[in-house]
Chain A
Amino acid sequence: MQKRLPDKHGHFGIFGGRYAAETLMPALIEMEEAYRKAQKDKTFQAEFNYYLKQYAGRETPLYFARRLTEKLGGAKIYLKREDLNHTGSHKLNNTLGQALLAKRMGKNRVIAETGAGQHGVATATVAALFGMACHIFMGKEDIRRQAPNVFRMKILGAEVVPVASGTATLKDAMNEAMRQWVSRVRDTFYVIGTTAGPHPYPMMVRNFQSVIGREAKRQILKGEGRLPDFLIACVGGGSNAMGLFYPFRKDLQVRMIGVEAAGYGLDTGKHAASISAGSIGVLHGNRTYLLQDEYGQVHDAHSIAAGLDYPGVGPEHAYFSQSGRARYVAVKDDEAMEAFRVLSQCEGIIPAMESSHAVAYALKLAPELSKNKIIIINLSGRGDKDAEVVAEKMGV
């Protein structure tokens, strides 16, 4: 019998935990207690489900990609259409949950970090929805490459705070958000966007995102009368992947594949594949796989997908990798770019560059499988935000 994870201190095996400065510990404990109560509270759950349905537009379809399946000539491919969520990605599932929790805790100011801007937009959206003040921390470099999302956040009334420290990308935005939280911990709720950070975040974000996997399971059972053979999802911090995987974790016949960003290639050192090519360490409040040097200094990550550009990974993914429950592979920038093109032109669906990594792995796997196999890809977001970068590279 599998133990329920995480344990009471937030550990998933040797991973996870709560490695945080004392200034934050009381806030994290308060948050955990509030969350555990909310989890058991039918009113909270009803409210969360109401917004998922009426505001986010759930459930999202599980779409059979017929043309792509025929083109590849192997396994049947289904797409879990998180790109059809309001705001264009799965991120809203989590920010709705956390904002409702913040409201319940009487905190009227939210802050968040963002890389690609999807989580920033999703946080700014719920802040507008619930009338909360909102500050989004974003690396200067990411502000430059994700301009459309910066505009969206501003239109929604959020203040976008540029972060110039360190490498001016997602990890530095997260550092700065934590510093800001330390400074205003009494009235501020920090909305973390992925299954990382100190306990209870990895557990809480996983649970809010699990709606993806629960729906997919119900939908595939209805459509095919059986469970899928493979789940494929991209992994940066890992929230969309965990959201899809978690409800299937006990169905051992379902193989789960997390796709990390191999950037220019794992051997070039310019990638974001913490599990495939990193080592164990402690960052942002949890123990997990990190990109780091031999002295424990954390490296910059690189990926064409800003949302995967993080040098760590959610601790439960580290645990799934170590226990063998899920397998983690890596896909390069140019492979993701090609998948972006293929899905756009074959199905009329423009995927986010992040999700394109999952699609790229499916393009390799599906032809090797027989036609009676079933793959579900988590199409975690839409690709409008990437149009400019892709147009430049494709010479459109």
Chain B
Amino acid sequence: MGRIEEKFNELKATGKKALVVYLTAGDPDLEKTREFVLAMDRAGVDICEIGVPFSDPTADGPIIQAASQRALKGGANLRKILKMIKKIRNISQIPIVLFGYYNPIYSYGNRKFAAAARDAGVDGILVVDLPPEESEELKIYTDPLGMDFISLIAPTTSNARIEEIVNNASGFLYYISITGVTGTAKPSVENVKADIKRIRRLSNLPVVVGFGITSPEQAGQIAPLADGVVIGSAIVKMIEKNSSEKNLLQIVSSFAMEVKKAIS
């Protein structure tokens, strides 16, 4: 059993919801990202999504766009990010999902990437622009290594398509709570509720909700509808705003703890 499945089993057994935190790797630098992940683990975050910065992040709003630009300027790349994750694994067993766009992976080489990611201790991958129609070319390398292929479901996704997607997915399903890019709108609880119901009828995989959740209150409203929530842009923004603060780690950790409390 992989770390992701184990984590959801553990949460289910105790009736808890998952808190998933997204961090852009390399913002402000990779050493800081490593420290953030460890701090998130200590703060009770259940799963970390580590964002691989890309020059053309078409599914992201302004906050993550800017973070990606900063990370790239600082010299972050997939090879260094995997190295950083390997270092995390010396200390922490928090489930890690690599989140990003296809081109940096494709450029690394799909076969080589799968082996290196497994070796680094990556548990799952979420490639935003790799829908089921195109994902086979990567999955043939990542599936045999037991890496989860996390798939996105949007409000616009039809039931027929959800079936196709869940057949192709493992680990958990990521429900995009808004028709928009990351961190740009508030999800409507009613819509989320209806869509999760739709998904549940077609799959037994855990469902987490993300793309528009920015506050503990919102997380507290959404979490009961699903198996977990993702906080991304809100954390990335907080890191940017407080980047010169000495107690940056503490600030980010307390926010994570607040969210965790709100969904417990």
Binding site for B on A (CB under 8 A): 9, 17-23, 25-27, 165-166, 171-172, 175, 178-179, 182-186, 281-285, 290, 292, 294-298
Contact = CB atoms under 8 A, between A and B. Distances in A.
B93 interface: no
B74 interface: no
Contact of A295 (B62, B65, B78): B78
A298 B58 CA distance: 13
Interface in B148-182: 151-158, 161, 165, 176, 179-181
B46 to A, nearest CB: 23
25 contacts: A19-B102, A19-B129, A19-B134, A20-B129, A22-B176, A23-B154, A23-B155, A23-B156, A23-B179, A25-B131, A25-B154, A26-B154, A165-B65, A166-B55, A166-B56, A178-B58, A182-B59, A183-B181, A186-B156, A281-B107, A295-B77, A295-B78, A295-B104, A295-B108, A297-B72
B11 interface: no
Contacts of B116: none
Interface of B: 54-62, 65, 69, 72, 77-79, 102-108, 128-131, 133-134, 151-158, 161, 165, 176, 179-181, 184-185
Which 7 pairs show the lowest CB-CB distances between chains A and B? A296-B107, A296-B104, A183-B180, A22-B152, A295-B77, A23-B154, A296-B103
A189 to B, nearest CB: 15
B154 A17 contact: no
Nearest to B100: A296
A184 B185 CA distance: 12
Given A21-B154, A295-B108, 10 more contacts: A18-B131, A21-B58, A25-B154, A166-B56, A179-B59, A182-B59, A182-B181, A186-B156, A283-B103, A297-B77
A182 B129 contact: no
A311 to B, nearest CB: 9
Nearest to A279: B107
B130 A23 contact: no
B58 A26 contact: no
A297 B179 contact: no
Given A165-B62, A165-B65, A175-B58, A23 B176 contact: yes
A93 to B, nearest CB: 26
A285 B181 contact: no
B61 to A, nearest CB: 7
Contacts of B106: 281-282, 296
Please classify the interface of chain A as helix (H, G, I), strand (E, B), loop, or mixed, using the class held by over half of its residues: loop
A26 B107 contact: no
Contact of B179 (A19, A20, A172, A182): A182
B129 A285 contact: yes
B153 to A, nearest CB: 6
A166 B129 CA distance: 19
A294 B108 CA distance: 8
Contacts of B102: 19, 282
A23 to B, nearest CB: 4
Nearest to A14: B137
B128 A175 contact: no
B187 to A, nearest CB: 13
Given A183-B179, A282-B103, A296-B108, A22 B184 contact: no
Contacts of A281: 103, 106-107
Contact of B157 (A26, A186, A294, A298): A26
Nearest to B57: A175
Of A17, A19, A22, A285, the most chain B CB neighbours within 10 A belong to A22
A297 B154 contact: no
A283 B56 contact: yes
B165 to A, nearest CB: 8
B156 to A, nearest CB: 4
A23 B129 contact: no
Contacts of A182: 58-59, 179-181
Contact of B181 (A26, A166, A179, A298): A179
A149 to B, nearest CB: 24
Contacts of A166: 55-56, 65, 69
Nearest to B75: A295
